[in-house]
Amino acid sequence: MFSQQGSQNETNESYNEGGFDITDSYEVKQTLNYVNVPIALKYEIFDGFTLQAGPQVGFLVSANAKVEGTTTVEGFGSESIDTEVDNKDDFKSIDFSAFGGVGYELPMGLFFQARYTAGISSVLEDSEELDDVDAQTTNTVLSLSVGFKF
């Protein structure tokens, strides 16, 4: 199952460096693309209606961050930032998670599912930059599916 996951973060910070007042204002959109392999245990509550739960392993296919914003140095003006970076090396290649959900299948084969998936392991690759930070970043996903079995 292909899954595109990601986050969006806005940052506004002001600081003084070398006697200059600097303001950074930017937005980062992180996109992670996975091929996920769920192992679903299903329990049929009544005809066509199921509860589902199980583990899932995801394999990272690609990762990129889009950064847009401005850096302003008081008295000197602003500089725009608009870049996209391939940052797959910043993330672990495998993601472990667990999910739970519900489903309903009509007799003709049309089905509907809703699942909540919570990450068990951090997706960030270990780095020296994060040694001083207690960073545990996991994927959390709510997915809705419609399909047809034949």
* CA–CA dist 43, 49 (Å, integer): 8
What would the pLDDT profile of 125-138 be if each residue is shown by its tens digit? 875 555 455 556 88
Nearest to 10 by CA among 37, 34, 29, 33: 29
Contact 91, 60 (CB under 8 A): yes
Share of the chain above pLDDT 70, in %: 93
- Enclosing domain of residue 104: 2-15+24-148
Count of the separate structural domains present in the chain? 1
Contact 51, 42 (CB under 8 A): yes
pLDDT the model gives residue 145: 93
* CA–CA dist 38, 53 (Å, integer): 9
Mean pLDDT taken over the chain: 90
The whole-model pTM stands at: 0.77
Confidence tier at 79 by pLDDT (50, 70, 90): very high
